[in-house]
Structure 1
């Protein structure tokens, strides 16, 4: 039997004999085109090598910052700035609150300093003076040593990744100024942040009878006696409310509601003192011992309730008359009436009577 040979042509030119075989693409090529085919493969290999080198370079070198990384960096810096601002504000506010008792007492302490120096130089003092100075210094020490009712609050935004802080002054009741509602009339004693005691009458001058544990003061004399009575509490910080009821009043004389410096001695002419501040009536005020009366009908009368507010934070006092819903406010010159303050009530008519409501 004769052997039959199949002749393969070049896969490139289809003319010459396919003398070389590529086992990759399984095509036969003539010598010329086989060399060209290998050259094409070599060029493809070169391109692959270049792509490999580029990828290898990108793996080992820093790439350009991703836009989300930029956003994260921006958020980080903004958050740090907000935290720093909140922290600085909190530090400043806290330091102001911590310094407030010292600042409030500075004038009072300076006054005692002058008295002590003068009395020593003149050798002019008695046991009564020593007791008065001792009591005042003990009161100042209580105020300085009392913890400041202050706390740190966090913002209530649950969506925030970082909760900012702020200083919460627990003494501040500024929101109460925006409403006509009067809070409970418990008195916060300025030398104790967690002690709540009721105000009561105690120190008297003239003819005053105290009853019901110091809650009721009744005048047993007349206008010539200039009878007056002070409260037991001392006020240097915070906001305080004392609620009174006029149970009896004469038709000829007013009762006075106000404050004086706690070291002020009760005397016949106390109403001329520079620390004497308050009201005989809503349109009849006394500021630093000087009367200021406007021509208007009398407002306060028997059976009325009034509330005296002592705002040591803003250095002012306020009298609210509940029957007419009227309020009058007075700023206090801290140089003339330094802290601590105490309340004072004057009763000029016989049987005039004032009650502190609990």
Structure 2
């Protein structure tokens, strides 16, 4: 304060004159009383500033996580090195190939010229024209030699290796807005989207109804996947024929609905408040056992709460006002989860009343383009771990044409997304899922297998036990093999490639790894072989089989589960029951039911790694007809690699072929060239499988279906010679104008009655009555 001025002024606060002091800071005058108050106020503001300083210093310490940033840099370094090593290895291969091809060509030309020069000198038979031609050839050799020295490395500006730098961005306002949105609750809509039997899904997916006269369980999935947060759903039991007709619970979202059962380890839920199924175990709630009032009945309201954070689910019975909680082991039922309901009897009906969620997630697109950009740019695949197809983001606030739909469509400024060029857009999960199989760094594939009666201790009498076989593969992706194969196929077939098929075909088997088989009232652990294969057989009593039998159709089977020890990996497999009586259709796949053109390597590679699999016309229709008419089972045989089974299954399901056990070859990278593999004539394993089926069934008949393009006729003739009374018919696919093929069949089948075999080109050529 300055007190040297004698000019009397009014106090800025009370307007009194006299005893006035002027503040050097604010240049205002104060009386004796208020100058003290003003000084106190300045002290308070100083304290506030010091507190703010302390808070900022604390925030700095908390916000700068050196370890986290360093780890991100280390991660970028490792990933970049891995990419560089892959590119370097492929570049070495390309360089060696170029040098080898060039050297071979130059040496061959040089040897040809030398041979001609020597011959001409010895014969003394040449002219100026020959000399001129040889000089031109030598000059051409010099040019080619110079070309070798002109090989150099070209830097690709579009390389997947990106530089990183540390940047500081001002995103305080956006961040605060997003926090508010993330913490708010909102309603979400759950609906039923899929059932695995005769049932009706109506009212836009809100109501499910069992309409099958057979009293078997029909399972239903919801459309939502629950990964985090807490979610509550209400169901109304509109009709329940008995106390144990309805199952309510959850399962892992990546499980195929056709493979689901309430007693599998991936399932947790209730039949009633008195019976809980938790990871394959039935738990009786003795507290409510025998109480009719606690049973779930018609018109009851059931509330299901899915708590992903605490790994538990809760059932609330509104009529009885009772709550039941079950802990979920996420190692056995991995996230994300889906609701799972099952109805057992005809006319059982359940309806979704409402759903709510305690969490939502927000994608802002703020980090894709700058706030000044006005034109739409594509959302890149991988953004927020999603795949974006034909999705463009635009700054709707700064759009260059005012008063458009882009401007009015903005909800959270400044960005919005739209479908480009009026074409459909798609947003999907980044993980690739094909028919229930998840493709990630590691995975499990279970190929459908078979169970026979156990005749080891009986003669021709019916055994009460079964021998069950399983087959599968535990794999890990190999990016180097995938890159090398992709580059090779690009040169050979020159068409767009299906990278998912390449990724699976080039994966490595996880050798000598422990896996466990469960879901069948017994648990056993085995080790994979050197190729990563899962192979085992075990025995079950007929009583146990009946407990787990999935019947009601033509493909009686049981389901089992395989899981990898200490890893979050599970898969569900099928075992089809093949009893001593009945009829089985043993069908080849390639060029029998699926167009492959196995006689041409190029076309085979195109059909396997580029095109969508295409069915032979009419084959699925006649197979389904035979399945219904003869209550038949089906088994599929193919020389295709089992690495591609998920795509084969997708094809069989899409074309509606009958399901059944499947037997495939396996490609081994360590001892085979993949081009030679697809040119080999398979058949050794097929004939072994045929023998296995005939030797393990005493009275079952078989129909053999194949094609003329490889060894199917020879294999089938050999089998018929050993089991003439067990082979009902043989059908061979060939082109109608293939006279040479017909002559070959006449020779191969010379010892088989002509009424026992026939040819066809499409399914329409096959008889509906196989005994005619």
TM-score, normalised to structure 2, is 0.24
Q: Bigger relative contact order, structure 1 or 2, given CA contacts below 8 A and separation 6+?
A: 1
